[in-house]
Amino acid sequence: MTQQPYDVELINVIKEFASPRKDGLVRAVDDVSLQISDGEFFALLGPSGCGKTTTLRMIAGFEDTSSGQILIRGNAVQDVPPFHRPVNTVFQDYALFPHMTALQNVMFGLEMEGVSRSEAKQRATEALELVQLPQAADRKPRQLSGGMQQRVALARALVKRPAVLLLDEPLSALDLKLREDMRYELKAMQKTLGITFIFVTHDQEEAMTMADRIAVMDRGKVLQVGTPEEIYETPATMFVADFIGETNFLRGKLVGQEGQYGVIELDSATTMRAMCGENPPAKGVETTVAIRPEKLTLFPVNGQVKYPDGSFDTAEAYRTAILKDPDIEVREGTIRQAVYIGTDTRYVVGIGKDRNMELTVRLQNYGLRSDAFFEKGQAVYVFWDSENARVLTS
C-alpha cells in the first residue's frame, strides 16, 4: 500500500548557528517535525526570533539542516539547491529586483526555466492580472507602494506554479487596514489555486484567520500543531495559551477528581474544576489552570439581573437557576478595574478568600452600556462552564 506523501515533511530538523560571540552554537531550530499536506494553508506562528524564518529558509534551500531531514513530496532534498526545488518564496521585504520592471520581475523565473520570451510575457501578464496589478507591469519596484510590491512578489512566485509557496511575514510591512483585507484575499487565492502555502507570522490573529493548521513555535521548538480552534480552545502549554489571545492563569494544587474534572485548590477556601489533558498531574502537584476572559460572565451580588427578554430576577434566584447546570461554577469576587473598549468591557475581578487572585473578564457590550456595567469595588459573582477551564502542565 502506497501512501500519498506529504507535500512537505520535516523529520527531527535541527539548525545550529555559530553564536554571535563565536564561542559556541545556538539552536535556531530545535528538533522540529512537521507534516504538511497537499493544498494546506499552514502557518508557522511564534514570537520574533523563535526560528520561523530559519525553518522556512531550510525548506527553500537557503540554509542546510544541521541534522534531520526535509522531504518535499517524499523526496529528500538535502543536496538539492534552491533553484531545483519545486518551492518558491515570497520574502519578508519582497526582494523585488530593483533594476527590472514588475513584468520583468515576474518573467524572470520563467526565463530561467527556458520558457520562450513571448510565452513568459503572456504568463507573467496573466500572473499580474491574478494579483490585480496589470496596470503596474512597466513600473519599477520603487515606483510601487508596499502593497503593490507585495502583489508583484506574489505574482513572481506563483507564476512558477510551485508545489509549495513559502511566505515569510508577507503582510507585516503593510498598513493595518490593507493587512486585514489581504488576509482574506490570500486565503481565497490559496483555495482557488490549491497550492500548499507555508505562511510565517508572529501575528496570532493573522494565523488564526488564514491557516488551516497552525504550528506554534517558541525558542526553536514546535509546541503544538493544530487547527486554529484546537490551538485556541485546547492550548497544550502555558506559552501557547498566553501567545494566542488573552488568558487567565491561576496557580493551584490538584486535590481531587469530580467527574471528568480535576479539582484544584486555589487557596484554603477556594477551589475550581478544570479539564485535565491526556496526562493529568499527580495529586498535590502545583499546576496552572487557564481560562479565557470571554468564557467568564458576571452578575451583581446585590441587585437584579436582567434577562434578554427584559424580565428581572434577583441575583440570588439567578444564581440558583444557573447552578442547576452541574458544569457551571460560581465564585464571589470584587471588581478591581473596568475598562470600556468599544466592542466589549474588560473587567479585572479579584476572587478567592482575600480577593487577591485576579481574573480578567470580557463582557460584550451587546446592549446599552449602562445595562451591564459594573463599577470598581462592586461585589459580583463570576461564573463559567468548567469545560472551559484547563489544567496546563507546562
Ligand X SMILES: Nc1ncnc2c1ncn2[C@@H]1O[C@H](COP(=O)(O)OP(=O)(O)O)[C@@H](O)[C@H]1O
> Where do contacts with other proteins occur on this chain (CB under 8 A)?
60-62, 81-83, 87-89, 91, 93-99, 108-109, 112-113, 141-142, 149, 156-157, 160
Q: Which three cell numbers stand for residue 25?
A: 552554537
* CB neighbour list of residue 360: distance below 8 Å, 6 or more residues apart: 246, 248, 293, 296, 346, 347, 348, 349
Considering beta carbons, is residue 36 or 60 the nearer one to other proteins? Answer: 60
Q: Where are the beta strands (DSSP E) in 141-230?
A: 164-168, 196-201, 213-218, 221-226
Task: State the binding partner of 81 from ligand X, Mg ion, other proteins, none, CB within 5 to 8 A by kind.
Answer: other proteins
User: In the complex with Mg ion, which residue's Cβ is closer, 53 or 196?
Assistant: 53
| Least CB distance to ligand X at residue 199 (A) | 12
Provide the mask over 372-391, with x wherever binding to ligand X is found by CB under 6 A and - wherever it is not: --------------------
Determine if 53 is a binding residue for ligand X (CB under 6 A): yes
| Angle of the 102-112 helix axis to the 146-158 helix axis, nearest 10 | 20
Query: Closer CB to other proteins, residue 62 or residue 312?
Result: 62
Query: Minimum distance between the CB of residue 182 and ligand X, rounded to whole angstroms?
Result: 20
Q: Pick between residue 96 and residue 211 the one whose CB is nearest to other proteins.
A: 96
Task: Residue 374: name the closest of 352, 348, 343, 341 by CA.
Answer: 348
Q: In whole angstroms, what is the distance from residue 355 CA to residue 256 CA? A: 23
Could you tell me which stretch among 6-14, 48-56, 264-272, 316-324 binds ligand X (CB under 6 A)? Answer: 48-56
For the bound state, the minimum distance from the C-beta of residue 202 to Mg ion, rounded and expressed in Å, comes to 8
Give the Cα-Cα-Cα angle 108, 113, 116 (nearest 5 degrees). Answer: 80
Residues binding Mg ion: number (CB under 5 A) = 1
Q: From its phi and psi, is residue 323 left (phi > 0), alpha (psi between -120 and 50) or beta?
A: alpha
58 binds ligand X (CB under 6 A): no
Q: Please identify, using beta-carbon distances, which residue of 47 and 86 lies nearer to other proteins.
A: 86
What percent helix, strand, coil does the chain show, rounded to 5?
Answer: 30, 35, 35
Q: Which of 10, 28, 96, 348 binds ligand X (CB under 6 A)?
A: 28
Minimum distance between the CB of residue 22 and other proteins, rounded to whole angstroms? Answer: 11
Q: Cα Rg for the chain, rounded, in angstroms?
A: 26
* C-alpha grid cell, residue 306: 436582567
CB atoms within 10 A of CB 9: 19
Measure the CA–CA gap between 327 and 174, rounded to whole angstroms: 45
- Amino acid symbol at 381: Y
Query: Beta strand pairing status for 213-218 and 41-45?
Result: parallel
Closer to ligand X by CB, 49 or 367: give it.
Answer: 49
Helix axes 117-130, 146-158, angle to 10 degrees: 130
| CB 97, CB 104: distance < 8 Å | yes
With CB under 6 A as the contact rule, which of the stretches 51-59, 110-118, 144-152, 325-333 interacts with ligand X?
51-59
Cα 54 to chain centroid distance, Å, stands at 18
Q: Give the DSSP letter of residue 83.
A: G
Out of 2, 3, 4, 48, the only residue in the binding site for ligand X (CB under 6 A) is 48
- Minimum CB separation from ligand X for residue 15, in Å? 8
- Judged by CB under 6 A, does residue 49 bind ligand X? yes
**Cβ closest to ligand X, residue 48 vs residue 268:** 48
Min dist. Cβ of residue 20 to ligand X (A)? 7
Q: Return the beta strands (E) in 149-220 as ranges.
A: 164-168, 196-201, 213-218
In the complex, least distance from residue 110 CB atom to other proteins, rounded to whole angstroms: 9
Tell me the number of residues near ligand X by CB under 6 A.
10
Tell me: does residue 17 bind ligand X (CB under 6 A). Answer: yes
Q: Which CB atom, from 19 or from 302, has the smaller least distance to ligand X?
A: 19
Closer to other proteins by Cβ: residue 70 or 290: 70
Q: Which of 15, 42, 43, 53 binds Mg ion (CB under 5 A)?
A: 53
| Residue among 32 and 103 whose Cβ is closer to ligand X | 32
Asked if 385 and 286 count as a contact pair (C-beta separation under 8 A), the reply is no
| Cross-strand partners of 121 | none
Residue ranges binding ligand X (CB under 6 A)? 17, 28, 46, 48-54
Residue ranges binding Mg ion (CB under 5 A)? 53
